[in-house]
């Protein structure tokens, strides 16, 4: 299954605000679809499966990952010791493209993924072009020593001023590098999500 490349506001109208997908806000309030012209009338009942499915879809679209990737992260979260839901979110937040987005290097995770794919980002002074690369605590995220990369990141930092950096990350504008101080806290996530429903969705697999 390929990544979603369709209209993004249609997705946010159905699932709610997804900061990693887009920062834009739709002027329409009703959910997309022929039979959803009005909302809140109680005619369209959502099943328990449907609720879990929507929470799972939030993760997929916000982080821009495929179904197989998300299933892998769920299995990995189950394998580790601790709260499965929190570990799942931390695994997603420690992806290199997500770290770049959280540091304000791009306005969306898709934009951050493009920066990584094009080789503009370094991890511990080594160029990494794999968006799904799992960063570790104390890793140094920097910018490639090249005028094109440096100017691109500087312009992005000026444009991306609405995203506040979480406390587990720090960024130095002069050095154009940041450091991962710790794993993210649940309260710092921008995504409105019930991760337990995602775990329940995959519980039968």
Model's pTM, two decimal places?
Answer: 0.85
The pLDDT of residue 71 is 93
The pLDDT of residue 42 is 47
The pLDDT of residue 18 is 77
Spans of all domains in the chain: 8-32+43-91+190-201, 96-182
Tell me how far apart the alpha carbons of residues 25 and 5 are, in angstroms, rounded to a whole number: 17
Res. 39 pLDDT band, cuts 50 70 90: very low
The pLDDT of residue 22 is 72
Tell me the fold of 8-32+43-91+190-201: Ribosomal Protein S4 Delta 41; Chain A, domain 1 (1.10.1050)
Which residue has tokens 């429903």? 197
Give the torsion through C-alpha atoms of 135, 138, 139, 141, to 10 deg. 110
Res. 97 pLDDT band, cuts 50 70 90: very high
Tell me how far apart the alpha carbons of residues 105 and 89 are, in angstroms, rounded to a whole number: 20
Tell me how far apart the alpha carbons of residues 4 and 2 are, in angstroms, rounded to a whole number: 7
Q: Comparing 8-32+43-91+190-201 with 96-182, is the CATH topology the same? A: no
**DSSP designation for 31:** P
Average pLDDT, the chain: 85
Tell me how far apart the alpha carbons of residues 202 and 72 are, in angstroms, rounded to a whole number: 11
Region 134-152: mean pLDDT is 94
Report the percent of the chain where pLDDT is more than 90.
50
Does the pLDDT at position 40 exceed 80? Answer: no
Q: Which CATH number fits domain 96-182: 3.40.50.2300, 1.25.10.10, 3.30.559.10, 3.10.290.10?
A: 3.10.290.10
Does the pLDDT at position 126 exceed 80? Answer: yes
pLDDT (tens digit per residue) in 47-60: 888 889 999 999 99
Least confident span in 24-38, 68-82, 120-134, 178-192 = 24-38
Identify the bridge partners of residue 140 per DSSP, sorted by sequence position. 179
């Amino acid at each position: 299954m390929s990544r979603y490349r369709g209209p993004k506001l249609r997705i946010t109208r159905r699932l709610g605000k997804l900061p990693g997908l887009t920062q834009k806000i739709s002027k329409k309030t009703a959910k997309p679809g022929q039979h959803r012209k009005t909302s809140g009338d109680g005619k369209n009942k959502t099943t328990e499966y449907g609720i879990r499915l929507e929470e799972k879809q939030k993760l997929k679209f916000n982080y821009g990952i495929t179904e197989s990737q998300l299933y892998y992260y769920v299995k990995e979260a189950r394998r580790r010791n601790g709260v499965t839901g929190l570990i799942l979110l931390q695994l997603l937040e420690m992806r290199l493209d997500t770290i770049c987005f959280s540091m304000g290097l791009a306005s969306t995770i898709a934009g951050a993924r493009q920066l990584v794919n094009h080789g503009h980002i370094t991890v511990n002074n080594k160029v990494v072009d794999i968006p799904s690369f799992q960063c570790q605590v104390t890793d140094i995220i920097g910018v490639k020593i090249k005028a094109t990369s440096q100017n691109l990141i500087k312009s992005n930092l000026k444009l991306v001023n609405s995203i506040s950096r979480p406390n587990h990350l720090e960024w130095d504008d002069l050095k154009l590098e940041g450091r991962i101080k710790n794993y993210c806290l649940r309260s710092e996530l921008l995504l409105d999500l019930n991760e337990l429903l995602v775990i329940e969705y995959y519980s039968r697999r």
